[in-house]
Amino acid sequence: MEPFPTKPVKLKPHTFNAAFRGRIRTALKAGVPWRSAAVAAGVSGGIFVKWYKRGQDIRTVIDSTSEYPEKMTPEDFGYLWLYDLIEELNAAVVVKHVKRIDKASKKSWAASAWWLERRAKEDFNKDLNAAAAQKKAEGASNVPQVLIELPDNGRSAAV
């Protein structure tokens, strides 16, 4: 086993070459979380997050101004491509799984219940509803109680 390096290791800047793009696309299309997809493609999760955020910043500028930012570098186009790819493939995976759940719900109500618990949380999520009921019960016990004693006006005497 090699000893842990004592000096910081400088990683070579990654280029968005065809092999990298192919590995990322394949992993994301399969539904692999994007940090894991990055590692599978040979990039650390931290670097990948920085690239994603850079692409997100560029997309925000483009969406707000309808123009590319001035002085876009080839790397900036790579960051933008990566951000757009992640968003597109994440949406495609969500659609694929919602279709699967919808298909399964035709045979089993549990699939529909699962979907409702996650998409209509306020009305169908059992954990949220239980927590709300508990909070309501706790709130009721914290309300000051007032006990009023009324005179019996001789009604308690045995007849």
pLDDT in tens, the chain (159 residues): 444 444 444 444 556 777 888 888 899 888 888 889 888 888 888 888 999 999 999 999 999 988 888 888 888 888 898 999 999 988 888 888 888 888 888 898 888 888 888 877 777 777 765 666 666 666 655 656 666 666 666 666 555
Q: Note down the domain range covering 78.
A: 12-90
Whether residue 115 contacts residue 105, with contact meaning beta carbons closer than 8 Å, is answered with yes
Residue 131 lies in a domain: no
- What is the pLDDT at residue 134? 66
Residue 148 lies in a domain: no
- What is the pLDDT at residue 9? 41
Residue 37 lies in a domain: yes
Residue 144 lies in a domain: no
Residue 3 lies in a domain: no
Residue 82 lies in a domain: yes
CA distances from 150 to 146, 147, 153, 154 (A): 13, 10, 9, 11
- What is the pLDDT at residue 1? 45
Alpha helices in the chain (DSSP H): 18-29, 34-40, 45-65, 74-105, 109-119, 121-124, 126-141
Residue 24 lies in a domain: yes
- What is the pLDDT at residue 59? 93
Residue 147 lies in a domain: no
Domain count of the fold of the chain: 1
C-alpha span between 104 and 31 (Å, rounded): 19
- What is the pLDDT at residue 11? 41
